[in-house]
Amino acid sequence: MSLVATRFAPSPTGPLHIGGIRTALFNWLFSKNNKGKFYLRIEDTDKERSKDKYKDQIIESLKWIGIDHDDKEFIQSENINNHKEIAEKLLKNGFAYKCYCSEDEIKEQKENAKKKGIPFVYNRKWRNPEGLEVPKDIKPVTRFKSKISGDNSIEDLVQGKINISNSTLEDFIIQRKDLTPTYQLSAVVDDHEMNITHVIRGDDHKINTFKQKQIYEALNWKLPYFAHIPLIHSESGSKLSKRDNASTIDDYIKMGIMSDALRNYLLRLGWSYKDKEIFTLNESIELFNLKGVGKSPSKLDITRILSLNEHYIKNIDEEKLLKLLKTYSSNFKKEIDDNKNKQIIKSIKFLKNKAKTLEDIYQNAQYILKDDIEISSEYLKLLDDSSKAILKDFTLDFEKIIQINKENLEIIIKKLIEKNKTNFKGVGQPLRIALTGSKFGPGIYDIILSLDKNEVLKRLKKIN
RNA sequence: GGUCCCAUCGUCUAACGGUUAGGACAGGUGGUUUUCAAUCACCUAAUCGGGGUUCGAUUCCCCGUGGGACCGCCA
């Protein structure tokens, strides 16, 4: 058994959002840093909302960002018999009891509490069933016999010591009326069976910890370490939810964000190491620790993601960038034909300098990717007679060039500028429009040099 | 409402109780430039408020204020 084991335990009730990805990342990083294990557990005990397609999507998302789990993923519902057995054991040993309250009764208690402005805590009616008659028409739930008095505390690896008064904890349900176990029970049983040593999760689970701790104690099981990391907030300032826009991994992939960039962004969101901003995967494994995790929630900042992405686009190996671009294009745009590879590699040096996303590269490479350049009427208007004359002159000179390079092109263009008493723009803009169909894009020399000579001539002649 | 947690530039964050409170992103100004960019130089910008403790608080304590999480037969 290894010293450290962590797990990521999402419920497959929707696509993973990046808060979840970050939790997974921190767990993964922590276990890698400690040369331990990292497991994935699919918490699918809510049968109505759990979907296989989400399970697959979650696994895909993790894989995309570079997180791999040890062993096969653990499916919580497959362990349901064990959960039930433990519930029985708790019942038998007096740590839990059957509660025959009807749903209406509970509802009434809740409304009363609301009216009085006091917090709702189930009134523990069936904790002591003496003198109560068991109703025949009600299937009972199983409740855990929570401590009523005293204080309780946990030593959290991120939050420090957290105290709570036991009186605020209710006798929570561990088994539904259909006898299926609830989260509080299943999570504890599975964490125990999987020998999880460190539970790293969002701090929305903080209160659960006190409930779960009591289950551990009742069973005489060793309590794992807990680390509750602060949540990621949306721009609006509240907990990131599945309903927020652009918060799933797929949304970022679609935007043309690369996994390294997102990984780096998520790493630095809530965690820091001195002044360091850029971390390779290996660096992040070596340097990650729980001490560096802050306590306050952080806001999602898309410009930061973009700027990190820009950094990675500029620094990644060009062959790899081409591969990513092609994957991106075939997934979300138009497939890039292999016969364009050589040309793109040649151009990627300057294309990547003006891109924040893969989509930007794709857009700026349109003049290469499209065999037929279309010029919108708006731009066509810019090509007046004098511009056309310049293009014609350029064509004549260009045809004569034997060795096409920047120096030779400069000579021609300089000559044209002088002859027409204009500036570089006077020559550059018509050329750009003729060759790319756009006013924006890479430098003129870059464009010409990256196109085949015949292709340049073809495009120029089409204008005149 | 109850319980718990949090609080440094707009954002992400540094700072053994002693720093001109640092960095990054964004923003601004200027240089370079054929468009858009990129790039280079420089600049703006923060310790939530009030009390303590201390020779000295961003840092420790208390109160307030603000924000968040939880309060499901969801996980």
Mean pLDDT of chain A: 91
Could you count the other beta carbons within 10 Å of the beta carbon of residue A464? 11
Q: Which residues pair with A98 in a beta bridge?
A: A142
Distance A174 CA to B3 C1' (A): 21
For A390-403, what is the mean pLDDT?
Answer: 88
The model's pLDDT over A337-367, given as tens digits with 9 standing for 90+, comes to 999 998 899 899 999 999 999 999 999 999 9
Strand B positions closer than 7 A to protein CB: 1-8, 10-14, 22-26, 33-39, 67-75
List the single range of A253-257, A354-358, A408-412 with lowest mean pLDDT.
A408-412
Would the pLDDT of A316 be above 80?
yes
pLDDT of the residue at A352: 93
Instruction: Provide mean pLDDT across the span A146-166.
Output: 93
Distance A292 CA to B11 C1' (A): 19
A374: which 2 tokens? 């279309």
Of the ranges A79-88, A282-291, A371-380, which one carries the lowest mean pLDDT score? A371-380
DSSP string of A188-203? HHHHHHTT--EEEEEG
Q: Cβ of A292 < 7 Å from strand B?
A: yes
> Quick check: A309 and A356 in contact, CB under 8 A?
yes
Distance CA A153, CA A221 (A): 17
Q: How far is the CA of A22 from the C1' of B47 (A)?
A: 28
Q: Give the Cα separation of A402 and A2 in Å (integer).
A: 68
A113 residue type, one letter: A
Output the pLDDT for position A117.
Answer: 66
- Check residues 346 to 365 of chain A and report those whose beta carbon is under 7 Å from nucleic acid strand B: 353-354
pLDDT of residue A173: 96
DSSP 8-state symbol, A72: S
User: How distant is C1' of B7 from CA of A305, in Å?
Assistant: 24
**Each residue of A279-300: pLDDT tens digit?**
999 999 999 999 999 999 999 9
Mean pLDDT calculated for residue range A199-218:
96
pLDDT band at residue A179 under the 50/70/90 scheme: very high
> What are the tens digits of pLDDT across the range A261-278?
999 999 999 999 999 999
- Interacting residues of A223 by C-beta distance below 8 A, sequence separation 6+: A213, A216, A217
Whole-number Å distance, CA A441 to C1' B6? 47
Please give the pLDDT value at position A379: 79
Nucleotide with the nearest C1' to A102 CA: B73
Instruction: Write down the pLDDT at residue A423.
Output: 83
Distance between the alpha carbon (CA) of A206 and the C1' atom of B58, Å: 27
Confidence band of A384 (pLDDT split at 50, 70, 90): confident
Q: How much is the pTM?
A: 0.94
pLDDT band for position A464 (cuts 50, 70, 90): low
Which nucleotide's C1' is closest to A113 (Cα)? B1
Q: Report if CB A119 to strand B is under 7 Å.
A: yes
Mean pLDDT to the nearest integer, A361-377: 86
CB of A208 under 7 A from strand B?
yes
- Say what the ipTM of the complex is: 0.95
Torsion angle, CA of A255/A261/A267/A273, rounded to 10 degrees? -150
The answer to whether residue A60 scores a pLDDT higher than 60 is yes
**pLDDT number for residue A244:** 62
pLDDT for position A1 = 54
Which of A84-88, A155-159, A340-344 has the least mean pLDDT?
A340-344
- DSSP 3-state of A358: helix
Per-residue flag: A303 CB under 7 A of strand B: yes
Pick from A119, A205, A113: which is nearest to A156 by CA?
A: A205
Contacts 24+ apart (CB under 8 A), A266-274: A266/A18, A266/A21, A266/A22, A266/A25, A267/A25, A267/A29, A269/A22, A269/A232, A269/A298, A269/A300, A270/A22, A270/A229, A270/A230, A270/A232, A270/A294, A270/A297, A270/A298, A271/A26
- Residue A301 CA and nucleotide B26 C1' are separated, in Å, by 10
CA A307 to C1' B29 (Å) is 22
A214-243 confidence digits (pLDDT tens): 999 999 999 999 999 999 998 777 787 766
The A 366-405 residues near strand B by Cβ under 7 Å are none
pLDDT category, A439, cuts 50, 70, 90?
confident
Measured from the CB, is A195 under 7 Å from any atom of strand B? no
Query: Nearest 5 degrees, angle CA A47-CA A52-CA A55?
Result: 105
Q: Per-residue DSSP letters for A372-397?
A: S----HHHHHH--HHHHHHHHHHHHH
Q: Could you say which DSSP state residue A221 is in? A: P
